A and B are shown apart, each in its own frame.
Chain A
Amino acid sequence: MSNTEKEPLFSAKNLKCLTGPLSHNNPVIVQVLGICSALAVTAGLKPAFVMALSVTTVTAFSNLIMSLLRKGIPSRIRIIVQLVVIASLVILVDQVLKAYVYDVSKQLSVYVGLIITNCIIMGRVEAFALGNKPWPAFLDGIGNGIGYGMILIIIAFFRELLGAGTLWGYRIIPESWYIQNGGFYSNNGLMLLPPMALVIVGIIIWIHRSRNKDLIEK
């Protein structure tokens, strides 16, 4: 039987590629990569979600392609090859966003282009895809993308809720609560500015480490 020599698609080892980056090896809160875009696009849930989706697509496919190419790449130009593959994927994502979700693409503006410089992507290609088979590399890409996106969405949730009183553009905090309408409530404008995202990342890291003591540096 071929099954005995071939590893099943979702073996424990492969699954670890997918789930590892969600918590114990999270790119944002453990490896502290991709912080810049995590601050920039998390003022609202919708751009954060689209950014998460875009980054996941790019990490997954750049990992897959680089893993397919890994045996043929001349090692002297491998960084250039990585950049070309990643940059083309990002341009594709950008074009698709411009054509199908124009308003979101406007909100994300330059940050889509800056996915190219997101350290998570090159980091995973260099550290994982070049030394592993396509399927685990693909899963690793998806895992890291989701690990990154998850944090983005948590940050965006708090920033949009407390900064604008909405979630995904829908009003959560009733209009009648606001001071200008005779209520007692006012949005926290600081939430909409990037420094607050950094504070939220800090709080997430704090909670995460307090629950995973092995991650605490000595």
Chain B
Amino acid sequence: MGKKQLENEVRSEKKSGFDKNSNTYIITYSVIMVVIVAAVLAFAALSLQPKQEANTMNEKKMAILASIGIESTAENVDAQYAENITAYAVDARGDVVESISADEVLDGLKDLRAFREKAFPVFVSKDGRNIVPVIGKGLWGDIWGYVALDGRWEKVKGVVFDHKGETPGLGAEITSAKFRSQFEDKRIFDNGQFVSVAVLKGAGASAGNDYAVDAVSGGTITSRGVQAMLRDCLGSYVPYIEKQFAAQLPSVENNQELNEESNE
């Protein structure tokens, strides 16, 4: 290894009569050491990079599958994903962006914030559920997740959350099944008006409320973060979802047409 070489070099220098504490020796020593270390680390980083990237991608695919209740492992996640999920992107006006392919959408998850500057990813499961990625801020760092909505974009069908470094036992509880299961069948539209899902403080605060869940106790700031994340990120899809509603419900469509006519 490189270190051994270094040692030999150092030894030969010593034999030729160098003073070990002279500036020349110290500087030469440091330079050689730094170059060798840099080479070893760069080599390791480059050779392990593809495997590391595959791991992070697998993790995202697993989270997408988990949001619609499909458990997968690192071994079968690629096959499961290919079998169950397709993807497209929509823009802020609510139109599908044709120029972005499904693979590019998936790739965009690597840096979701940057991707959201230009378009918003939508993943569709085989049985027609829509899954959207969400990202926001918790107490100590980023929180993110995937929200699965039913085919009509009305009800939440499942969520997964993850976080960078929320407090274990408190804020980190947003990843627990107990917190996540509350989201099942919550609605994000109230009479056609986007309301998102609120996260209310106090056990039982959301009882009977179709538009809210209970916050994590002791994790107030993280819970607020979840609420803000859902409002902001789901909100980005509102123009698109409203177009879907218009297509589904003829009456709404008529109204919109009327509005458009009056605008003209």
Contact = CB atoms under 8 A, between A and B. Distances in A.
A84 B55 contact: no
A72 B51 contact: no
B33 interface: yes
Given A74-B29, A84-B37, A192-B169, A69 B55 contact: no
Interface of B: 3-4, 6-7, 10-11, 13-14, 20-21, 25-26, 29-30, 33-34, 37, 40-41, 44-45, 48, 51-52, 55-56, 58-59, 74, 165, 168-169
A200 B173 CA distance: 25
Contacts of B13: 72
A95 B3 contact: no
Contact of B25 (A74, A80, A96, A98): A74
Given A95-B52, A98-B55, A99-B55, A76 B10 contact: no
Nearest to B6: A69
Contacts of A88: 37, 40-41
Task: Say whether chain A's binding surface is mostly helix, strand, loop, or mixed.
Answer: helix
Contacts of B37: 84-85, 88
Given A72-B6, A74-B20, 17 more contacts: A69-B10, A71-B10, A71-B14, A72-B20, A74-B25, A75-B20, A76-B26, A81-B33, A84-B33, A91-B41, A96-B44, A102-B58, A109-B165, A110-B165, A192-B168, A192-B169, A193-B168
B165 A71 contact: no
B3 to A, nearest CB: 5
Contacts of A98: 48, 52, 55
Interface of A: 43, 65, 68-69, 71-77, 80-81, 84-85, 88, 91-92, 95-96, 98-100, 102, 109-110, 189, 192-193
A197 B169 CA distance: 15
6 contacts: A73-B20, A74-B20, A84-B34, A95-B44, A102-B58, A192-B169
Task: Say whether chain B's binding surface is mostly helix, strand, loop, or mixed.
Answer: helix
Contact of A72 (B14, B40, B55): B14
Contacts, number: 78
A193 B168 CA distance: 8
A77 B10 CA distance: 14
- Which 8 pairs from chain A and chain B are nearest by CB? A72-B10, A102-B55, A99-B51, A99-B48, A74-B26, A98-B52, A88-B37, A65-B3
Given A95-B45, A192-B169, A77 B7 contact: no
Contacts of B55: 98-99, 102
Contact of A96 (B10, B41, B48): B48
A99 B55 CA distance: 7
A189 B7 CA distance: 52
A84 B40 CA distance: 12
B169 A72 contact: no
Contacts of A110: 165
Contacts of A76: 21, 26
Contacts of B4: 68
A73 B7 CA distance: 9
A133 B74 CA distance: 44
Contacts of A75: 20-21
A102 B73 CA distance: 12
Contacts of A65: 3
A95 B48 contact: yes
Nearest to B34: A84
A72 B3 contact: no
A60 B153 CA distance: 57
A81 B30 CA distance: 8
